[in-house]
Amino acid sequence: MSGTGDEGPEAGAGPAGGRAEPEAPGSALSVDLPGLLGQLARSFALLLPVYALGYLGMSFSWVLLALVFLACCRQSRVLKASRLFRALALLEDEERAVRLGVHACDLPAWVHFPDTERAEWLNKTVKHMWPFICQFIEKLFRETIEPAVRGANAHLSTFSFTKVDVGQQPLRVNGVKVYTENVDKRQIILDLQISFVGNCEIDLEIKRYFCRAGVKSIQIHGTMRVILEPLIGDMPLVGALSIFFLRKPLLEINWTGLTNLLDIPGLNGLSDTIILDIISNYLVLPNRITVPLVSEVQIAQLRFPIPKGVLRIHFIEAQDLQGKDTYLKGLVKGKSDPYGIIRVGNQIFQSKIIKENLSPKWNEVYEALVYEHPGQELEIELFDEDPDKDDFLGSLMIDLIEVEKERLLDEWFTLDEVPKGKLHLKLEWLTLLPDAANLDKVLADIRADKDQANDGLSSALLILYLDSARNLPSGKKINSNPNPLVQMSVGHKAQESKIRYKTSEPVWEENFTFFIHNPKRQDLEVEVKDEQHQCSLGSLRIPLSQLLMSDNMTINQRFHLSNSGPNSTLKMKIALRVLHLEKQERPPDYQHSAQVKRPSVSKEGRRIPVKSQTSVSPGTGGSNTAPSTPVMGVEDKPVREEKPQPPEASPLGQRDLGRSSSSLLASPSHISAKEPTPSIASDISLPIATQELRQRLRQLENGTTLGQSPLGQIQLTIRHSSQRNKLIVVVHSCRNLIAFSEDGSDPYVRMYLLPDKRRSGRRKTHVSKKTLNPVFDQSFDFSVSLPEVQRRTLDVAVKNSGGFLSKDKGLLGKVLVALASEELAKGWTQWYDLTEDGTRPQVVT
């Protein structure tokens, strides 16, 4: 029994029992024999020279010499490895390698590490290729541009280029920057600083009118972005090449011949601006030239990618600005009339002007599309409005990569290039979500679920890719090809495509974007028109709620046009993206600060401040960066000094939101009137007027209860004349208006047919002096067809005129009349209640 018990543990020993079986002597000797022999050999190799030296009677110095030799060999190997390591580190990061090797105090002042690299090898290559590039440009002018100009108009049928010589000076690349951080792994992004100064000769002639003109020199400077994407595993390793400018390049043209008149001061800047607008329609972000290198690449997706995000800018207030206004030839210093210019890439916004205030409060909101992270910044410049040249009050530049990381920034920023001044901004980075899971929360946050569907902060972004049309009707003339264009509108915001001449199957390949307030209530309206005969070729209405139920909130198909030919179709790709603010959880002691960049140009070398903002004309441009909001006329510009508001009305609440704004193109020419960009948090036509009107209502109320129509009423007759093809509006009278002064008011009526708010589309009555019940009895007309006018809105505003240089100018009330009524052909005469912003007018029978 005992023997059996002793054998049990031994039998269970092994891998499972945690005990190893005793190894055989042979196996142990075979495992250790190589190591033992190696150690003996090393010992023998060390002792043999010493024994040999003693046996031969030689000096011990030979042993020391051998040790020194071995040490030198080892040191040489270490130095060689160190040199190789430093060389590899230098290739990877030159700046870090130099700073590790040399102390910062030992570096000369002129040593710096720019983020751009010289590319002389590229310039030598371009110089060698320049004659062949010139041949390609001449071929492009003669075979592509010349036939297109001839076919555009019958009067240009004899148009021709008599000489095309680009010159001997090649295009030069002054620097190259390659982005390695915050980029997709399947793309390569390069910024090329290009410069072209050429004594070119491009002469053209119209033989029919004996007209000759041309260009004798061109200068163009700018930063061109080149994107190689997608990277693939087969040759040529790159799927496509995309080229565009991040912002408008600097352009200077010297004209000759008949067009030499354009060199006259005043016309020179205008001509360059028009040409820059044409360049922007093709080569300035979001427009781009895309060259596919592999046939399988989706060229439409590469040519018009979805924006990376939307930047919502709360332009709140400033403090401690410089006083630039002076009196009595500088003996008396005054204050400033500050306003701000905000740039995000090619999108430009201008704030309202606050009169005589060094701590202005704007409380305006703008939304801008961001297509490219690296290389794009938020640029803000403050100016003091003056009759001649506006004075500079400071600037600020913020890296958008930092804003994207933080998602939400609400800080005071110190202004650059001025001794004092601070600016308060709130920046929100909105991501684009392809599903509607968070839409209800977003609508509740911006209060879009209760207010009107067309106004206020945006909850979504509509991206429309207009591809082509087929089998369009001939228009008014039978057997004649139309000149089709497409008009698209969402609410009050409208855009137009380019015109395609003499074709019933046009191809546009253009991209458009619309900021959407409430996609559950808004519709996309599309109409194809013949530009030559001003008639409709077909229309289409798509409820945006249909996109919410689609896969990935995207529709890509051919749509059948109504009121068109039996087989007329329009191919579009429409995508809806919800704008979501991701709020990151931060510890209470978390400190964040966006990286503020110093401007690369001095105050003297900066661009001339924007003296005028003109809305992007959809007819002249192709793809727009953002939905276009027209800018008001000069009469709508606020001239009253901003007064302190009561605490309950100081910041604009969500209930005070007006319509969203858009990107505007800045004109560097000097024009006397500055027109602010409408803020999302402001009235449709006048940013500050609604605030002043609400404040005046509170003062009138003063503890009493006002009537049902506190701002008064206006009587209008509205009808559409099918024979004249015009909308007729008769302004009869107003009653019970509010008094602007002790003598009453000097009212007049201003009208727009939205979304057209151009100066030519404005209608005005005469001014009635010192009365609260004016009688006008004036008739106005708008040239518009009945189907089109039913998609428009009549914007009627009653304003106080005041005298010359008078401060008593402002808004007395507004009304927005929707014209989508079947009774429009018969017409009606009604009284309408005036409100502060024209929303939800109440009709008085």
Residue 551 has pLDDT above 80, yes or no: yes
> Residue 320 and residue 335: Cα distance in Å, rounded?
11
> Residue 108 and residue 123: Cα distance in Å, rounded?
29
> Residue 841 and residue 712: Cα distance in Å, rounded?
12
Buried b (16+ CB within 10 A) or exposed e, 398-430: bbbbbbbebbbbebebebbbeeebbbbbebbbb
> Residue 71 and residue 838: Cα distance in Å, rounded?
92
Residue 808 binned pLDDT confidence (cut-offs 50, 70, 90): low
The pLDDT score that the predictor gives to residue 526 is: 92
- In 638-767, where do the E strands start and end? 665-667, 713-721, 726-735, 747-754, 763-764
The pLDDT score that the predictor gives to residue 298 is: 62
For residue 202, the SS3 value is strand
Highest mean pLDDT range out of 328-342, 637-651, 760-774?
760-774
**456 and 444 Cβ atoms separated by less than 8 Å:** no
**61 and 69 Cβ atoms separated by less than 8 Å:** no
> Residue 202 and residue 141: Cα distance in Å, rounded?
10
In Å, the largest CA–CA distance within the chain is 135
Greater confidence (608 vs 730) lies with 730
**What percent of the chain shows pLDDT beyond 90?**
12
> Residue 307 and residue 458: Cα distance in Å, rounded?
15
| DSSP conformation letters of 316-327 | EEEES-----EE
Greater confidence (428 vs 60) lies with 428
The pLDDT score that the predictor gives to residue 269 is: 56
Nearest to 652 by CA among 681, 625, 630, 609: 681
- In 434-472, where do the E strands start and end? 460-470
> Residue 311 and residue 303: Cα distance in Å, rounded?
22
Q: How many CB atoms lie within 10 A of CB 811?
A: 27
Identify the H or E element spanning 380: strand 377-384
DSSP letter at 20?
P
Greater confidence (256 vs 125) lies with 125
HSE-up of residue 380 (Cα within 13 Å, Cβ side)? 29
* 148-152, 190-194, 728-732: range with lowest mean pLDDT: 148-152
> Cα dihedral angle (266, 270, 276, 277), rounded to 10 degrees?
160
> Residue 729 and residue 713: Cα distance in Å, rounded?
16
Nearest to 711 by CA among 607, 634, 799, 605: 799
Residue 82 binned pLDDT confidence (cut-offs 50, 70, 90): confident
Q: How many CB atoms lie within 10 A of CB 167?
A: 17
Residue 663 binned pLDDT confidence (cut-offs 50, 70, 90): very low
Mean pLDDT along residues 592-597: 54
The 10s digit of each residue's pLDDT in 367-388 is: 999 887 666 788 899 998 887 7
User: What mean pLDDT value characterizes the chain?
Assistant: 75
Is the backbone of residue 237 left (phi > 0), alpha (psi -120 to 50) or beta? left
The pLDDT score that the predictor gives to residue 586 is: 64
Nearest to 178 by CA among 167, 188, 193, 170: 188
Q: For residue 229, what are its two tokens? A: 């994407």
Mean pLDDT along residues 392-402: 87
Residue 461 binned pLDDT confidence (cut-offs 50, 70, 90): very high
Nearest to 636 by CA among 715, 731, 751: 751
Residues 6+ apart with CB under 8 A from 655: 447, 451
The pLDDT score that the predictor gives to residue 683 is: 36
Phi, psi of 32 (to 5 degrees): -95, -10
Q: How many CB atoms lie within 10 A of CB 609?
A: 22
Residue 758 has pLDDT above 70, yes or no: yes
R_g of the chain, CA atoms, integer Å: 36
Mean pLDDT along residues 108-137: 80
Q: For residue 456, what are its two tokens? A: 């206020």
**713 and 833 Cβ atoms separated by less than 8 Å:** yes
Residue 239 has pLDDT above 90, yes or no: no
> Residue 202 and residue 145: Cα distance in Å, rounded?
13
Highest mean pLDDT range out of 37-41, 273-277, 612-616, 792-796?
792-796
Residue 694 binned pLDDT confidence (cut-offs 50, 70, 90): low
Mean pLDDT along residues 305-313: 87
Nearest to 380 by CA among 335, 420, 414: 414
* 57-71, 305-319, 699-713, 748-762: range with lowest mean pLDDT: 699-713
Greater confidence (445 vs 631) lies with 445
Greater confidence (285 vs 461) lies with 461
The pLDDT score that the predictor gives to residue 659 is: 31
**615 and 662 Cβ atoms separated by less than 8 Å:** yes
Mean pLDDT along residues 104-127: 72
Nearest to 626 by CA among 660, 576, 662: 662
CA distance readout (Å), 761 to 493, 630, 632, 784, 801: 16, 11, 11, 11, 20
> Residue 590 and residue 586: Cα distance in Å, rounded?
6
Q: Which residue in this structure is represented by tokens 């912003």?
A: 837
Q: For residue 4, what are its two tokens? A: 């059996």
The pLDDT score that the predictor gives to residue 636 is: 38
The 10s digit of each residue's pLDDT in 173-195 is: 888 888 877 777 888 888 898 88
pTM: 0.60
Residue 591 binned pLDDT confidence (cut-offs 50, 70, 90): low
Identify the H or E element spanning 277: helix 267-283
Highest mean pLDDT range out of 287-291, 684-688, 810-814?
810-814
